[in-house]
Amino acid sequence: MKEFSHLDDNEILLAFIAGEKYAYEVIYDRFWPLLYRHARKMLQNEEDAKDVVQEVFTMLWTRVNEQTIKPPLGAFLYTCTRNKILDLIKHAQVKAKYTNSLKELMDNTPVLPDALCIERELASQIEQEVQRLPAKMRAIFELSRKEYKTHKEISEQLNISDQTVKKQVSNALHILKAKLGMFFTFFLIFFYSLHLSSSLYL
């Protein structure tokens, strides 16, 4: 990789397009910290910033043969990062608008006894499935979804890596999705996002 590290941005881009795999590593090492700092500043969230930058480099790798990567390389990567950030913000705004509208609808809609009974049953079923998760996975999952701790906070509290936390949360969601089926949407929207009253479990 040393033979490529001295090249300027345009030269390293040409080497990458020509199929030199080590050129990609140089690009990654050269631009990842810069793009991450930019994304972190814009999003104010470490995990989201890392995800955005990783998506940019994944896109760079997959589009190398499409002749859509144009110099200057730095400007191209910054533009891609900016667009990913804007997409993420737009998605978050739409999600927040939907969640707020749904919450407003729930707050303004009388709760019928039958509906409350159904909510209790669903909440009980969801909690049972959460409790059936492996102990370590359940502990990490509940810290993430019930106590709203970040992956970094959980990793520091349990003395494990961020990657382990991310993998355990992802695995828990896959298990719950398989177990709950159509009720998984209820789980995502109501059980954690809207903080169902503890009275539902009484």
Q: Which of 64, 81, 55 is nearest to 23 (CA)?
A: 64
Q: What is the CATH number of domain 2-91?
A: 1.10.1740.10
Note the pLDDT of residue 202: 34
Neighbours of 168 (CB within 10 A): 24
Q: Which two tokens stand for residue 16?
A: 């990458």
Average pLDDT of adjacent 10-residue blocks, the chain of 202 residues: 67 84 88 89 85 90 73 85 84 61 55 52 75 90 81 90 89 81 57 39 34
Model confidence pTM above 0.85: no
Distances (CA, A) of 162 to 46, 53, 142, 151, 170: 11, 17, 16, 6, 12
Q: What number of CA atoms fall less than 13 Å from residue 155's CA on the CB side?
A: 13
Angle at 114 between CA 186 and CA 202, to 5 degrees: 70
8, 72 Cβ separation under 8 angstroms: no
The CATH T-level fold of domain 111-201 is Arc Repressor Mutant, subunit A (1.10.10)
Note the pLDDT of residue 193: 44
Q: Which two tokens stand for residue 140?
A: 């990490």
Note the pLDDT of residue 91: 73
CA pair distance 156, 95, nearest whole angstrom: 29
Q: Which two tokens stand for residue 183?
A: 């009720």
Note the pLDDT of residue 200: 34
| Domain residue spans of the chain | 2-91, 111-201
Note the pLDDT of residue 197: 37
